[in-house]
Structure 1
Amino acid sequence: MKPSKKAAKGNEEQPKKKKKKFSSPYAQFTFAVVKTVLVILISLGCVFAGILGGAVFGYVKNAPPITPDQLDITKLTSFIYDKDENEIAQIKGSENRVLVEHSEIPDNMRNAFIAIEDARFRTHNGMDIKRFIGAAVEYIITFGNASYGGSTITQQLVKNITGNEESTIKRKVQEAWQAIALEKVLSKDQILDNYMNRITTGSGVYGVQAAAKKFFNKDVQDLSLAECACIAGVTKSPGLFDPTLGEKNLERNKVRQEIILSEMLKQNYISQNEYEEAVAEQLKFYQPVEEETKVSKNVQSYFVDYVLTQVKKDLMKKYNLSSDAASIKIYNSGLKIYTTQDSNIQKIMTEEFTNIKNFPVNEKISNPTMQAQGAMIVIDPANGQIRGMYGQYGNKEVSFALNRATDMQRQAGSSFKPIAVYAPAIDMGLITPGTVVDDVPVYMDNTKPTTPYPTNAESGTYQGLITIRKAITKSQNVVAAQVFRDYLKPENSIKYLKKVNIDRPNEGYISMALGGLKDGVNPLIMAAAFVPFVNQGMYIEPISYTKVTDDKGNVLLDRKQEQKSNVAYKETTAFLMTSMMRDVVTGGTASGYGTVKNKSGKVIPTAGKTGTTEDYKDKWFVGYSPYYVGATWYGYNTPKSLKKAEWSEALLLWNKVMNRIHTNLEVKEFNPAPEGIVSKAICIDSGKLPGPYCSSDPRGNRIKTEYFAKGTEPTDICDVHILAKVDKSSKDIYGRPLLAGPYCPPNLVEERVFIKRPVPYLPKDPSNKSLSTQILDWMYEISQGEYCTIHNASTWQPSTPSNTNNKPSGSTGNQGTLPPEQISEELPDGGMDVIP
């Protein structure tokens, strides 16, 4: 029997029957969609991965390598030291940074940074995979706003080196690759040291050494564990964690410090006891004093300003640097500049020039720049090294302000005479200290032939016949002008000025001899020019620093080796000038305030020269001891006549500074008379050897002992003092007795010693009776050729032959009985009786 079709069909389909995966059409559709999406995503992923891989490859390929030059830290703080190598200033560019070596960084500092910044620093290859992936995932999830830090210390170092702060995938990829490459050439310690010398703690302070100074005024090697953790906590965000910026910051810093200490404990860098002690330690943050605050604000002293200008100039010259390049080297290269400053002297000068009692302040003037000003330089004459300077009255408010001690140009007045006139003329053998010049009115201004020029501004009178020694002591302008014009000549003055580094080829006029310069001078120029008088005639270029080294100790500039010196004068000239200028402080224009004493009250020898310019607009004193030369100026920024109360201010300032400088110094004499110095007794009215009447001058004994350079001493006998018979009852218009004539009664005739000028002085106006007070020796001069106007032939009475005492002056034994006409024949000279 055949099976039915249905059964047959069932039998046929039974082997083909399959198990269905989804029980509903919806499930089938969902599966189909997911499968399609997955295929698309996988495809896109492959494409994205390819693109990403290509991008990463491109980033890595284009990543610039870190070069050895980049590893060198160039933005370093430079240091300035005084002559005893005490630090007096730090010079910072945009960054305050002080490099420290590996051995100077304590392990606690090193481990604090590792614990908080990069726990696996010692084991990774520059990139911490775990942290990098975590940071990448957060970056994707937050769409680029991740706060999770994935950078290792090595990566942070790369960022500090490159300065690349971009928040991009490219920068992160390149940074990681550069970090891996860097780890292949540097050890872990080298990387960590470089990092710690670069980190910032705010306010322009970079590196752990500068931070240690900033917060605790310590070297980094002296920090405690708690202090190390404090500094490590600041670097995250100095604006938030700098503990010196307020109470909130202090609290935040303490919290972060404890987190760092906790991490150090967890990572076994410290023990539990160390942790607890560090947490409990009360940190004492450094508070700079006022002067240090000024330094931190870059308010440098006048000395530091001047040193920096000199170092810059010398760097430019020696290394052919531009001005900018030299500045960068100074402010960013960690230079060590060793100056000549004596900090004790500088402190004294600063105190005196900021003392309001030393400057008569006008309360009506609100602008301090319009007040009286002053400046001073002190130099060691043995080596030309500047020991101190101050450039104004009052506190210095800004760096590189006008330094009147080194930068101004003012006329020097009579303080210029020793270097422009007297020393050159003595050195050339043209004058001696005993040379006599007639200090009388002269007329050297061709435009005003009837007006006396120059006049003696400081004394206001004329001395008459006067030695060079006394002319310097009294500061007589007329004598200096005559020596300049008639003995020295302008061209020789200019030549000698150049020897003391004052080059004025176009100033060879009379006023230059008196310090009336077209291009003025300053205390530095003047102090340096006086150094040869202390230093046996040797001029030494003044220097403010001795050497400059780089941060590794290599000498860049050796100023002592390059310092210039030359013979300005003979040793005998220096001795003679000092001998004369000692009289200036003992009995001349600087008497009293030119004297210096030590703390025992003993006088230390000094010498010097005052200076006053036209209309009293500037006052100077350049003085020196065997120890120091000091030059002081006093005046106003805009020149104006000083009040009489201010005329001694320059000398007073000098005196106050120099007395304090010498307080602990022993009495020391100037150099003894060198070979070639001789002494001679001379008449101070002729400059010649004494004659028979020099000791009988009505003013007293005129014989003095004077020093001479051998070969310049006088050999002639005085011919200025003469003995003459005068009628004391007969006077000329000035009140001087007239010569006795043959008719003068013997009881009115007497012999007196007078002076007779070698070159008669003929006043422009002989009737000017004030000559007797203007020219101080005018009353002691014989009225040559003028005889008694009272007694004549009509008044003459013959005497008896026995009365020989009643003879006319100059008569012979029998002239008393002769008639007048015979007497005049016997005495053709008119009866003058003068004994030379």
Structure 2
Amino acid sequence: MKSNGNTASGKSEQKKKTKKKSVYSQFALAVLKTVVVIFISIGCTFAGILAGACLGYLKSADAITPNQLELTKLTSFIYDSEGAEIAQIKGSENRVVVVHSEIPDNLRNAFIAIEDKNFYNHGGVDSKRFIKAAISYIINLGDASFGGSTITQQLVKNITGNEDTTIKRKVQEAWQAIQLERNLSKDQILDNYMNRITTGSGCYGVQAAAKKFFNKDVKDLSLAECASIAGVTKSPGYYDPTLGENNKKRNKERQEIILRAMLDQGKITQNEYDEAIAEELKIYENKTDENVSVNNVQSYFVDYVLTQVQKDLMEKYNISSDAANIKIYNSGLKIYTTQDSKIQKIMNEEFTNIENFPVNKKISNPDMQAQGAMLVLDPNTGYIRGMYGAYGYKKGNFTLNRATSMKRQPGSSFKPIAVYGPSIDLGLITPATVVDDVPIYLDPQNPTTPYPKNSESSFRGLSTIRSGIRSSINVVAAKVFMDYLGAEKSVEYLKKVNIDRSKEKYVSMALGGLNEGVNPLIMASAYVPFVNNGVYFEPIAYTKVTDESGNIILDKTKEQKKNIVYKETTAFLMTNMMRDVVTSGTAATGGLGTVKNSAGKVIPTAGKTGTTNDNYDKWFVGYSPYYVGATWYGYNNPKSLKSSEYNQSLLLWNKVMNRIHADLEVKDFQQPEGLVKKSVCIYSGKLPGEHCSHDPRGNAIRTEYFVKGTEPKDTCDVHVLARVDTTSKDIYGRPLLANEHCPASAVQERVFIQRPVPYLPKDPSLVSKIKDWIYELPQGEYCTIHSSSSIIGPPSNSTKGPNAPLPQFGQGPILDTPFFLNEDLDVIP
């Protein structure tokens, strides 16, 4: 009985324990359920909140527009006349767009392998990568251990510029990426992405990277180079191989990682992988090329081209200067210029050669150094082939370009375009027209002081136009301007070569003394008609400008101005006379006006020197049938040049032009129809008389060119024959006319000149400076020594008076040799 009780009691106890456990379990389960419910509720609430937030983010997200897809901030390029690149013009970014066909498959695959291996299989977002990145983001409290962005998402980020590390940005980015995938092909997305990526130092896009790293176009990259570029974008500052040896090493390591990924993904073969791994990466070291503006200092030519393109964009499209600059610096323009890089290189070398600026060796202050400038034009097109705007290396962009922007007086180099060319063209003068170079007084403020003066401070007397040009005689030019041409006609012709001097209608303008100066560009282009059959071409520095798609937006050749300035015969006559300048005139010193090719053959040239008051400026504008070159030499703050500097402008011209013509054949200036040759007397400009060949300075008969119909018809009346007494002289040293009492031993027959218009000097002291005064017939002045009481023997011609008919040549003693200074005489080539 007792045992049964014990058993019952144990069972009861067990039931109590079981019941107690059941209660605990139920409570625990209830609590767990409650917690689960709470968590689910919280999760649902959180999910709802998150879903609501995401919905709000999506509603506030803007779709990528077509305009945003357009690439901006593109690098513009400038090319020379042969199509070679001479400059890159960058705004804030260096980006060059390349089309799909120019991008190698290896480069596409390199980016896909390292950035987005499922690129061709997702719709903008790689779900698995995105979720993993999100979990990593949560676990690491906002710092993901790897990125989940696809190439499409990266493109969105590049377009929007939004790099916020927030859920909102990632949600919107994912939605925008999906939208892009619906509107663009994979190739379009990848191409846009590759044209936008940054590779550091303001360099954007694979084309700019290919140039920067390897100096190649992207289409020419090797597999190894493709992988190198693809590796830079992760961290340009860390992997850019141009930033030092450590970066080169890191770039190589990442390149190998990319190549391995390409191999593992089947994008390259084992052989391709091995060859790429073994290939040495030859990183381009950017060295300054004197003909190419890359990142720093632009050439004078590039500066000028950019100012011209800006001006033309403003005029054609009616836009502001800022808008034009934005287009130039950010729109990927291609500017095709007229520069001949061979000529430009020659000019660069000569204007940085201190031997051509010898005085500079002693001057430490750059502003006080002698300066020079030159511009070379093709006269047959008006194309600017080269320019240099100062002495020495250019040190900044848009500094003063003396070849195109300075304003200095041109001196006598202005005479051909302001005086002689117009006067010849209007038929007012011929090369044989004679002007009396004697003191004149054209300054109303100083009526007793001769003006203008000649550079030699002397006067030549009767001089042809040819002689006036060859020897640069100021009085001859002034008289032609005042007595033949007139200010109105001079200004009218200057306007034809794009020089407006409407407010400077005075004689000093005709001599090159201008209120507003000129520069080599103005002078070179003004001489173009002399070479180009009388036709003026507006000087241009570029031919066309295209946009990034190749569409022409500026066509300078169609807009280039040209007009007829002179007749063809005028152009030839002026050239023919200016040939004398370089062979026997003011540019003949040391043969500096002569140009020879590499074979030593002379290339015909012509031109005109120019010197301003007190030798402040020296000019030479000279030309061949091939090129016109205008040079200037002087100082920033005008001062008198030393005598050793007088020929520096001509020297610079000669050095440049000799090298430019080294490989050119001899070519002469073309003679047009309508010209005739006639023998003339160079002291009367008329047909030779019987005494012209016996001028005391030598034979005065020369052959001259004339436009048909303008040749002289009258015979020389300047040379006369007279009987003089060699022992009796006037105050100027001239022998006086013989009278009937002069002994035969003292009497000679001589040829004299007789001015058509007698010169009556205001200041007798100046007469001695007139070089032909000694040859003038002393009219009415007879021997003062001999009279009837002084005759010992029979008179020389007792039956003839002083006015009796003179014997013919050969019938009496005639002096056939010069009895005074032998002058340079005119010679036609």
Instruction: Provide the rounded CA distance (Å) in 2 between the counterparts of 1:18 and 1:192.
Output: 72
Deviations 1:651-678 (CA, angstroms, capped at 9, x unpaired): 0110011111111111111011x22212
Q: Contact between 1:381 and 1:535, CA under 8 Å: does it hold in 2?
A: yes
2:381 maps to 1:379: no
Q: Contact between 2:290 and 2:348, CA under 8 Å: does it hold in 1?
A: no
2:550 maps to 1:558: no
Instruction: Provide the rounded CA distance (Å) in 2 between the counterparts of 1:295 and 1:598.
Output: 30
Please state whether the residue corresponding to 2:518 is helix, strand or coil: coil
Q: Contact between 1:749 and 1:809, CA under 8 Å: does it hold in 2?
A: no
Which one of the candidate residues 56, 59, 73 is aligned to 2:57?
59
Deviation of 1:140 (Å):
2.1
Instruction: Provide the rounded CA distance (Å) in 1 between the counterparts of 2:640 and 2:34.
Output: 103
Instruction: Give the corresponding residue for 1:344.
Output: 342
Please state whether the residue corresponding to 1:137 is helix, strand or coil: helix
Structure-to-structure mapping, 1:615-630, within 5 angstroms: 615-630=614-629
Deviations 1:3-38 (CA, angstroms, capped at 9, x unpaired): xxxxxxx9xx99x9996474787x887766655554
Please state whether the residue corresponding to 1:750 is helix, strand or coil: strand
Q: Contact between 1:742 and 1:811, CA under 8 Å: does it hold in 2?
A: no
* Residues 94, 811 of structure 1: alpha-carbon distance in 2 compared, 3 angstrom cutoff: closer
Instruction: Give the corresponding residue for 2:810.
Output: none
Instruction: Give the corresponding residue for 1:633.
Output: 632
TM-score (norm 2): 0.92
Instruction: Provide the rounded CA distance (Å) in 2 between the counterparts of 1:169 and 1:614.
Output: 78
2:747 maps to 1:749: yes
Deviation of 1:804 (Å):
7.3
Deviation of 1:51 (Å):
2.1
* Residues 600, 798 of structure 1: alpha-carbon distance in 2 compared, 3 angstrom cutoff: closer
Instruction: Give the corresponding residue for 2:477.
Output: 480
Deviations 1:90-143 (CA, angstroms, capped at 9, x unpaired): 222222222222222122111111111111111111011111112222222232
2:538 maps to 1:541: yes
Instruction: Provide the rounded CA distance (Å) in 1 between the counterparts of 2:257 and 2:133.
Output: 21
Instruction: Provide the rounded CA distance (Å) in 2 between the counterparts of 1:60 and 1:18.
Output: 59
Instruction: Give the corresponding residue for 2:825.
Output: none
Which one of the candidate residues 412, 415, 418 is aligned to 2:416?
418
Instruction: Provide the rounded CA distance (Å) in 1 between the counterparts of 2:294 and 2:418.
Output: 44
Which one of the candidate residues 59, 70, 73 is aligned to 1:72?
70
| Aligned AA (1:379) | L
Instruction: Give the corresponding residue for 2:607.
Output: 608
Structure-to-structure mapping, 1:393-542, within 5 angstroms: 393-457=391-455, 459-542=456-539
| Aligned AA (1:359) | F
Q: Contact between 1:740 and 1:809, CA under 8 Å: does it hold in 2?
A: no
Instruction: Provide the rounded CA distance (Å) in 2 between the counterparts of 1:363 and 1:200.
Output: 47
Q: Contact between 1:744 and 1:808, CA under 8 Å: does it hold in 2?
A: no
Please state whether the residue corresponding to 1:375 is helix, strand or coil: strand
Structure-to-structure mapping, 1:285-304, within 5 angstroms: 285-291=283-289, 295-304=293-302
Instruction: Provide the rounded CA distance (Å) in 2 between the counterparts of 1:442 and 1:794.
Output: 44
Please state whether the residue corresponding to 1:426 is helix, strand or coil: helix
Instruction: Provide the rounded CA distance (Å) in 2 between the counterparts of 1:684 and 1:736.
Output: 22
Instruction: Give the corresponding residue for 1:654.
Output: 653
2:639 maps to 1:643: no
Deviation of 1:382 (Å):
0.8
Q: Contact between 2:372 and 2:649, CA under 8 Å: does it hold in 1?
A: yes
Structure-to-structure mapping, 1:262-273, within 5 angstroms: 262-273=260-271
Instruction: Give the corresponding residue for 2:817.
Output: none
Instruction: Give the corresponding residue for 1:810.
Output: 802
Which one of the candidate residues 761, 764, 769 is aligned to 2:762?
764
| Aligned AA (1:691) | G
Q: Contact between 2:291 and 2:344, CA under 8 Å: does it hold in 1?
A: no
Q: Contact between 1:744 and 1:809, CA under 8 Å: does it hold in 2?
A: no
Q: Contact between 2:722 and 2:752, CA under 8 Å: does it hold in 1?
A: yes
* Residues 470, 45 of structure 1: alpha-carbon distance in 2 compared, 3 angstrom cutoff: same
Instruction: Give the corresponding residue for 2:310.
Output: 312
Instruction: Provide the rounded CA distance (Å) in 1 between the counterparts of 2:20 and 2:534.
Output: 119
Instruction: Provide the rounded CA distance (Å) in 2 between the counterparts of 1:522 and 1:350.
Output: 18
Instruction: Provide the rounded CA distance (Å) in 1 between the counterparts of 2:362 and 2:696.
Output: 53
| Aligned AA (1:654) | W
| Aligned AA (1:727) | D
Instruction: Provide the rounded CA distance (Å) in 2 between the counterparts of 1:22 and 1:771.
Output: 148
Instruction: Give the corresponding residue for 1:776.
Output: 771
Question: Alignment length, in residue pairs?
Answer: 792
Q: Contact between 2:88 and 2:295, CA under 8 Å: does it hold in 1?
A: no
Q: Contact between 2:380 and 2:532, CA under 8 Å: does it hold in 1?
A: yes
Instruction: Give the corresponding residue for 1:816.
Output: none
Deviation of 1:806 (Å):
5.1
Instruction: Give the corresponding residue for 2:3.
Output: none
Instruction: Give the corresponding residue for 2:116.
Output: 118
* Residues 602, 812 of structure 1: alpha-carbon distance in 2 compared, 3 angstrom cutoff: closer
| Aligned AA (1:782) | L
Q: Contact between 2:741 and 2:796, CA under 8 Å: does it hold in 1?
A: no
Q: Contact between 1:736 and 1:779, CA under 8 Å: does it hold in 2?
A: yes
Structure-to-structure mapping, 1:88-103, within 5 angstroms: 88-103=86-101
Percent identity of paired positions between Structure 1 and Structure 2: 72
Deviation of 1:808 (Å):
6.4
Please state whether the residue corresponding to 1:377 is helix, strand or coil: strand
Please state whether the residue corresponding to 1:178 is helix, strand or coil: helix
Please state whether the residue corresponding to 1:533 is helix, strand or coil: helix
Instruction: Give the corresponding residue for 1:665.
Output: 664
Which one of the candidate residues 172, 175, 180 is aligned to 1:174?
172
Instruction: Give the corresponding residue for 1:5.
Output: none
* Residues 167, 356 of structure 1: alpha-carbon distance in 2 compared, 3 angstrom cutoff: same
2:680 maps to 1:682: yes
Deviation of 1:53 (Å):
1.4
Deviation of 1:426 (Å):
0.9
Deviation of 1:234 (Å):
0.6
Deviation of 1:789 (Å):
1.8
Deviations 1:813-832 (CA, angstroms, capped at 9, x unpaired): 9xxxxxxxxxxxxxxxxxxx
2:140 maps to 1:142: yes
Q: Contact between 1:746 and 1:809, CA under 8 Å: does it hold in 2?
A: no
Structure-to-structure mapping, 1:700-719, within 5 angstroms: 700-719=698-717
Structure 1 window deviating more from structure 2 (737-746 vs 419-428): it is: 737-746
Instruction: Provide the rounded CA distance (Å) in 1 between the counterparts of 2:240 and 2:605.
Output: 55
| Aligned AA (1:520) | G
Instruction: Provide the rounded CA distance (Å) in 2 between the counterparts of 1:37 and 1:363.
Output: 94
* Residues 149, 742 of structure 1: alpha-carbon distance in 2 compared, 3 angstrom cutoff: same
Please state whether the residue corresponding to 1:122 is helix, strand or coil: helix
Q: Contact between 2:740 and 2:798, CA under 8 Å: does it hold in 1?
A: no
Instruction: Give the corresponding residue for 1:817.
Output: none
Deviation of 1:797 (Å):
5.5
Which one of the candidate residues 79, 82, 100 is aligned to 1:81?
79
Please state whether the residue corresponding to 2:183 is helix, strand or coil: coil
2:581 maps to 1:589: no
Instruction: Give the corresponding residue for 1:786.
Output: 781
Deviation of 1:365 (Å):
2.5
* Residues 559, 293 of structure 1: alpha-carbon distance in 2 compared, 3 angstrom cutoff: closer
Q: Contact between 1:82 and 1:88, CA under 8 Å: does it hold in 2?
A: yes
- The alignment yields a C-alpha RMSD, in angstroms, of 2.2
